[in-house]
Chain A
Amino acid sequence: MVRSNKKFLLLIMIPIIAEAVIFLIIPILGTLGISFMDYNPLGHTNSFTGWDNYRKLLEDENFIIALRNTLCFTIFAVGINIVISLTAATMISQLRSNKTRSFFRMMFFMPCMAPMVASAVVWGRSILNTKVGLVNEIIRDMGGDAIAWTGDPSYVMFSVIVFTLWADLGYNIILFSAGIDGIPGEVYEAAAIDGAGPFRKFFNVTLPLLGRTTTFVVLMTLISYFQMFAQFSVLLFKDGPQNSGLVLTSYIYKIAFVNKDMGYAAAISVILFILILIVSLVQRKAGKVDWEY
């Protein structure tokens, strides 16, 4: 009986295993292979170059800039995202009316429904635009000088992070809300009997019991933010002034499709892959919990 169950399980897993092999494992291995070649997809001779592409990375100042920008964007955007979405989810869960709770969740989730590219176009042309953008109109009305939000290197990353948070907060608010709703009411009642106020309830009950949700949310957000591409390519003109908005994903695209150096682009992709893998493993280890409720 057990053996036939195993066979059945293996059988029904064939499609998903095949999908993983064809669309995940083979492309990853292919990318790894290409990263050791001087590879032009249009060329007939693609020579093996050993570690040359990886050595080139160390001398490439644009790669260093892209790596620094990617880490800066990911750390700040993920950090702020988690703080705001957790705070918002906690505040929403305090509301008594189901309808009001649903209303706020929907409001925060609405930007997530629009494609990132479309939202970025609207923000780039109507909100952050130096000449006619809404933000600068308000600043001018208040007597200030217009700011080049996407044209001044000091503001580029800030602008992209603000846009990303606006576009992406809703997902995490929904996930945190689901986690908070899953915490049994008795735990809060017991905390109240012990004299805990709202802040102590949050730090000593909500936060620890949300461990698994937080691990999941942080991990998924980290992975997703490391791979962010749309807002950088749409919101900024050619990676922003002095490459201030150049991130690894846009650099991979540029090297592969503008410079047509697929081998080098593959090497950068491998570095990004390793980076995400390391961060994911560390995060999983750090976020491990050994309790249930």
Chain B
Amino acid sequence: MKRKIISVLTALAMLATLCFAMTGCGDNGGSDSDKSATLKIWIHNDEDSWTKSYETIAENYMKEHENIKIEFESFPYDEYETKIQTALMSDEGGADIYELWGGWGVDFAPSGALAQVPEDMEKEIREGAYECTYGALESDGKLYGMPMEFNIECGGLVVNKNVMKNAGIDVPKTWDELVDSAVKATKMDGKEMTIKGFDFVNWDGVMYLFTSMILSQGGQYLNDDGTFNFTSKEAKKAFEELVSLVKDKKVTTMSGLDDGSDIEGYQELYAGQAAMVPRGPWVIAEGINDFELEYGKDFSYEKMPFYGDKKAFAAETGWSMGVSSTISEDQQKAAFDFLEYFFSDDVIMSHNLACGTIPAKKAVAQSDEYVEEFPYAEPLVGILDGAQFIGLFNTDVFKENVNDVFSGYISGKYDSVDQALEKLEKKCNKMTE
């Protein structure tokens, strides 16, 4: 009898141990009864300043929340999307929080792979951030991520001051002045262009400039039903102007789309091979750090004149943060608590300043403190209200369509601008079918 009792007690003890062990193992991060948790965050690691900023924010958060441990895993950008996609496809592994490029949100948000942002935080984002910064993170009226930046590629102009000085020209204030300056700054050596006056031809540039030119004339590239419209008079005028800059005025070449050399227009500008390049402020740090140029003396970041009367442009959702939907409720709660901390004015501003990005939050972007600390943003903060969310579609495919048709027209693939634009409209509408 005594032996039987001992056996039963031993079995119960083993069962209890097993249950305890299983609970611990299944928690994907280690939250337990005292709500301690380990949050794993995946980030891309192409920019040291970004990684350092994340680590600093996490350290500060951990000081305030001793029961939370935050670990980072980083990947090169080129393989990051595939990595996230694979992780989200499987219910195990991966991270608790993902740093996401907004463009991916269009696919990730409706998939159920990301957790819905809690109500109070959603309200804060919708009221406090520019619409385009979270547009791609929405699905069925719900929000699945927190924006960290305003991704702006149009409205700012990187200018090589030495090239401009040698050509005897000033920073242009109007579109016509911009074209004139570009023509004057362009230099040829035989058939080779040694200095590009205005290099807008790159994977992002053509699409952003084209859509901005349509919007600034008061036109639209999207119909109310979400289909594309590139056959409007505004679209035709904009397309003809872009073509003319390459074919007639010859202020740039198609190498930004055709050549596999991996050298971007703004890098050529830093190397003294371009006068003006429309790009986001994120390129400034490279000019100072990698090319060792002096801001203000060798180059500057200026307001780019709009083509039409309106200061309007399209912007896609930039870098954001999302929480995995497959982790436990406690883990999700901890993850969103960290994101809420991240989204507070001071913290997100410190991140935007460290990364050289434009804030997604209106209050931060319009604060004197931010512009004082990051004067390069000055040309942009005044036009942020003119931004329109680019639309709920795959922006990589959209850019590819615009670039394909533009490059095809330049190389003589289409007989007329109308034919090219009809093709573009058809291709884009097929994309959203």
Could you mark each residue 397-428 of chain B with 1 if its beta carbon is under 8 Å from any beta carbon of chain A, else 0? 10010011001100101000000000000000
CB contacts (< 8 Å) of B254 on chain A: these are: 151, 241
Question: B407 to nearest A CB, angstroms?
Answer: 6
- B259 and A145 form a contact (CB under 8 A): no
Q: Which of under 10, 10 to 19, 20 to 34, or 35 or more describes the interface residues of A?
A: 20 to 34
Number of A-B residue pairs having CB atoms within 8 Å of each other in the complex: 84
Within 8 A of B (CB), among A112-140: 124-125, 128-131
- In the bound complex, CA of A258 to CA of B78 (Å): 12
Any chain A CB within 8 A of the CB of B56? no
Any chain B CB within 8 A of the CB of A43? yes
Question: A1 to nearest B CB, angstroms?
Answer: 49
* Cβ 8 A contact of B411, one of A40, A235, A240, A241: A241
- Chain B interface main SS type: helix
Q: Which of under 10, 10 to 19, 20 to 34, or 35 or more describes the interface residues of B?
A: 20 to 34
- B397 and A259 form a contact (CB under 8 A): yes
Could you mark each residue 99-128 of chain B with 1 if its beta carbon is under 8 Å from any beta carbon of chain A, else 0? 000000001101111000000000000000
Could you mark each residue 125-164 of chain A with 1 if its beta carbon is under 8 Å from any beta carbon of chain B, else 0? 1001111000000000000011010111100000000000
- In the bound complex, CA of A42 to CA of B110 (Å): 9
Question: A247 to nearest B CB, angstroms?
Answer: 15
* Cβ 8 A contact of B258, one of A128, A151, A257, A260: A151
- B262 and A146 form a contact (CB under 8 A): no
* Cβ 8 A contact of A260, one of B107, B257, B260, B411: B107
Question: A62 to nearest B CB, angstroms?
Answer: 9
- A43 and B111 form a contact (CB under 8 A): yes
- In the bound complex, CA of A241 to CA of B107 (Å): 27
* Cβ 8 A contact of B397, one of A124, A125, A242, A258: A258
Any chain A CB within 8 A of the CB of B88? yes
Any chain B CB within 8 A of the CB of A79? no
Any chain B CB within 8 A of the CB of A237? yes
Any chain A CB within 8 A of the CB of B344? no
Question: A226 to nearest B CB, angstroms?
Answer: 22
Any chain A CB within 8 A of the CB of B51? no
CB contacts (< 8 Å) of B403 on chain A: these are: 238
Question: B389 to nearest A CB, angstroms?
Answer: 20
Any chain B CB within 8 A of the CB of A44? yes
CB contacts (< 8 Å) of B174 on chain A: these are: none
* Cβ 8 A contact of A130, one of B112, B259, B413: B259
Any chain B CB within 8 A of the CB of A222? no
Within 8 A of B (CB), among A40-64: 40-44
* Cβ 8 A contact of B255, one of A41, A148, A257: A148
- Chain B residue at minimum C-beta to C-beta distance from A237: B260
* Cβ 8 A contact of B259, one of A150, A153, A258: A150
CB contacts (< 8 Å) of B88 on chain A: these are: 42
Any chain A CB within 8 A of the CB of B340? no
Known: A130-B259, A237-B258. 13 other contacts (CB 8 A): A40-B107, A41-B89, A43-B111, A44-B112, A124-B260, A125-B262, A131-B261, A146-B192, A235-B260, A241-B407, A241-B411, A242-B411, A258-B394
A-B contact pairs, 18 of them (CB 8 A): A42-B85, A42-B107, A42-B108, A42-B113, A43-B112, A44-B111, A124-B260, A124-B262, A125-B261, A125-B262, A145-B192, A150-B259, A151-B254, A151-B259, A241-B411, A242-B413, A257-B85, A260-B107
Please list the residues of chain B having a beta carbon within 8 angstroms of any beta carbon in chain A: 81-82, 85, 88-89, 107-108, 110-113, 190-192, 203, 254-255, 257-263, 394, 396-397, 400, 403-404, 407-408, 411, 413
The list of the 4 closest CB pairs from A to B, nearest first, reads A42-B111, A151-B258, A151-B259, A241-B258
